[in-house]
Structure 1
Amino acid sequence: MATAGVENLVTLLSQREAPSKVNNKAEKELKTFDPKYSVGIDVLPLQTQNLKAKNGDVFNLLLVGESGLGKTTFVNTLFGTSLLPSVWHNVEEITPNVKFDKTTSIVRHTAHLTEDDFNLDFTVIDTPGFGDFVDNSFGFVPITNYIDDQLRLYMFQEEQPNRTKLKDNRVHACLYFIKPTSKGLSPLDIEALKHISNRVNLIPIISKADSLTHNELKELKKTIKEIVEVQNIKICEFIEDEEVKKDILKNIPYSIIGSESVVINEDNNTTIRGRKYKWGIAEVENEKHCDFIKLRDTLMAKNMVDLISSTESYYESCRNKLAKTRIKQARDTLEDNESIKHLNFDDPDKNGLQNQKILSKFNKPFVDELVIEWSPIFIQQQLTQKKKFTQIVQFEEKKFKDWKKALFAKQSTFNGEIEEIHQQIKSLNNSITLLKHPIKDGEDEQVDVGELTDGEGENDEIFDLSKKSENLNIDDE
């Protein structure tokens, strides 16, 4: 009986396992595709490419450098057209009394470019008269503020219910123009490069390379590389592909020549973009003359996607940090708000979607006030005002002490004069008394003045100023 029961159990189990084996076989058969049969997955890359070409992309390039280093000329040379208005336009038309005004604010120039059915919104951000002021201690602050503001603005745009009009003004790359001098980098350049490189993909370039000889340019590049390494200036820090980063580091600083016009090469009777001199032609697209082609490939042909995607990754880290900062600041600023008291401020991730309550309360106006408090210019102004206030207090305290010392000196002088007058009065009182009551022979010369007066006290009231002098006493502190 027992043996039959076990056999029945084994039979039942085998029957249960049988369909499973059949199903596994069917699955294996389903996983085997006919090589000639096309599902359509192979065309997904083409669909993605067409969709990307239709929607286009955005690239924002920041140009930083002192006035007169050819930033506008470089952009126009890069695209082979007058994308930006040139200050030399009026000179070429021989217009008299031309004024060259310095840029006083950050200016954006946007162009819609189309090539092979791909649309690109290319924006160039020109900087203020960088380095043109007497005191350039915080000359980099307007630039770093702009970079940070665009990241915060994009974050607040993403928090809005309607994001169809979301505009991306985040800076993807920064070209820093360096003067073609043998000194390398100035203190202003070093300070600016440090702060900018922490916020955006930084690429230093030497402008007007045709003003240097080959040996001078080679030596200048070597000097700048050494300074960049010693000062720990980060070049394209946010690019994740190490091979791409190494390739860029190998070529920095790029040397460029800018020219918006073409010249005729008399050797082969061809037109080229460059500058014509007595000794020859400095060609823009000749790698023996400058690194313009390498820089153009880095920005456009090879690494634009890397620059855009790395900026996106950096933005995500900034968004995470700013969100947590807003939550922590809300705990202190909005501590009386009952709707957020129960939330976990130490570990915001545990709040889930409840964090949106905090973020909606601690919104852009609160963040703007916080940014002002963090501004190095504001901090420096605070320290300056505190120093001035301390100097004013010290000056007033010294002035008060000097006044008090002079007052005590006058009091001492007055008290001495009062004492002297008092002695004169006493002497006069004695003389008056002696005149009224002459001393008889044998009497003591000591006379009680109070007893010898006529009883009316007229002399005391008129001459005794000792009581009045008590009112002039000035107590010390």
Structure 2
Amino acid sequence: MPHEHRFLHVNALVVGESGLGKTTFTMNLHQDFQGPDFKLWPHDGAETSMASFKADPDSLCMHLPKAVATESGDWVMWHMQDTPGHGNIDDTEHMNMIINHIRSKKYLQYEMERQLLQGMEPQGNRLCEARDDHLYDVAFYFIPPHRFKPADLEYIRRLSQEVTVVLVCAKADCMTMDERRDFQMGIRDRMINSMLHDLMLNRPCHDLWRCLLACAAAMMFSHLCHACVN
């Protein structure tokens, strides 16, 4: 029986401070994957305003053409959601805006699946025609070189409760290999210490096993993706 090829949707969110090259990173990443002649649309990254995101987040989402990227020959479609950078506004406001956006996608996915189970045609969003999965698979959180602020740690902590987070060290070409390694280890240690502190403070436990699980989760969560963004 011939294999029935599927359309796999990968939804990614790009988050971080202003001026770190989030859109440039996204464009360079996919141009490298697809080849030098590959062109992205519709957002050129010239301006990612807060007003545009609040009014219509989908206007800042790059929908890439399908590509065969699995051994089975299934089609993969990437959706890269750009977001306005924080730093020039209150971080708490920005954090709540992004988290509410992620939760709205979860609700949209729930409604779509509910309607499908009831034999109804999904309604209420123009992307339903092109996407059968609205949940975010990953969030790329950009951090500046040589600096990891307490606000970043809190942002990542809250964001990781909603979606898998991968840290990206922007403009990492300004660091030596030793500096990159030390920076990565420092971030990992701070994240582990923060997670253990929260565990002991908010959910008191008396067995070592839960602490070890927290450490293991933090180690996995603190994977640092070095990217050179010009």
Q: CA deviation at 1:102?
A: 4.5
Q: 2:27 aligns with which of 76, 87, 93?
A: 76
What is the aligned partner in structure 1 of residue 144 from structure 2? 179
What is the aligned partner in structure 2 of residue 122 from structure 1? 78
2-structure distance, mates of 1:250, 1:65:
17
Report Cα offsets for 1:269-301 as digits up to 9, x if no partner. Answer: xxxxxxxxxxxxxxxxxxxxxxxxxxxxxxxxx
1-structure distance, mates of 2:229, 2:150:
26
1:217 aligns with 2:163: no
Per the alignment, do residues 57 and 258 of structure 1 end up closer, same or farther by CA in structure 2, a change over 3 Å counting? same
2-structure distance, mates of 1:101, 1:60:
21
AA paired with 1:109?
Answer: M
2-structure distance, mates of 1:163, 1:229:
46
Q: 2:61 aligns with which of 105, 108, 126?
A: 108
What is the aligned partner in structure 1 of residue 125 from structure 2? none
1-structure distance, mates of 2:221, 2:110:
34
Structure 2 length-normalised TM: 0.70
What is the aligned partner in structure 2 of residue 141 from structure 1? 96
Per the alignment, do residues 212 and 109 of structure 1 end up closer, same or farther by CA in structure 2, a change over 3 Å counting? same
2-structure distance, mates of 1:228, 1:251:
7
2-structure distance, mates of 1:202, 1:179:
16
Unpaired stretches in structure 2, ≥5 consecutive residues: 32-37, 123-128, 197-212
3-state DSSP class of the match of 1:153? helix
1:202 aligns with 2:165: yes
Cα pair 1:114 1:120 within 8 Å, conserved? yes
2-structure distance, mates of 1:113, 1:196:
28
Q: CA deviation at 1:115?
A: 2.2
Structure 1 length-normalised TM: 0.35
1:162 aligns with 2:127: no
AA paired with 2:178?
Answer: N
2-structure distance, mates of 1:250, 1:127:
22
3-state DSSP class of the match of 1:61? strand
Q: CA deviation at 1:250?
A: 9.0
2-structure distance, mates of 1:159, 1:250:
32
AA paired with 2:156?
Answer: L
Per the alignment, do residues 159 and 115 of structure 1 end up closer, same or farther by CA in structure 2, a change over 3 Å counting? closer
Number of equivalent positions: 184
AA paired with 2:172?
Answer: A
Per the alignment, do residues 131 and 250 of structure 1 end up closer, same or farther by CA in structure 2, a change over 3 Å counting? closer
Higher normalized helix content (fraction of residues): 1
1-structure distance, mates of 2:103, 2:149:
24
What is the aligned partner in structure 2 of residue 57 from structure 1? 8
Higher normalized strand content (fraction of residues): 2
Q: CA deviation at 1:225?
A: 0.6
2-structure distance, mates of 1:207, 1:198:
23
3-state DSSP class of the match of 1:62? strand
Cα pair 1:207 1:257 within 8 Å, conserved? yes
Q: CA deviation at 1:158?
A: 2.0
1:257 aligns with 2:228: yes
What is the aligned partner in structure 2 of residue 281 from structure 1? none
3-state DSSP class of the match of 2:94? coil
Unpaired stretches in structure 1, ≥5 consecutive residues: 1-42, 88-99, 234-241, 260-477
Q: CA deviation at 1:163?
A: 4.0
RMSD: 2.8
2-structure distance, mates of 1:254, 1:159:
36
Larger radius of gyration: 1
2-structure distance, mates of 1:73, 1:180:
16
Higher relative contact order (CA 8 A, sep 6+): 2
Cα pair 1:75 1:83 within 8 Å, conserved? no
Cα pair 1:112 1:119 within 8 Å, conserved? no
Cα pair 1:69 1:177 within 8 Å, conserved? yes
Report Cα offsets for 1:235-275 as digits up to 9, x if no partner. Answer: xxxxxxx9xx98x839821211146xxxxxxxxxxxxxxxx
Cα pair 2:191 2:222 within 8 Å, conserved? no
Per the alignment, do residues 168 and 250 of structure 1 end up closer, same or farther by CA in structure 2, a change over 3 Å counting? closer
AA paired with 2:224?
Answer: P
AA paired with 1:214?
Answer: M
2-structure distance, mates of 1:251, 1:82:
32
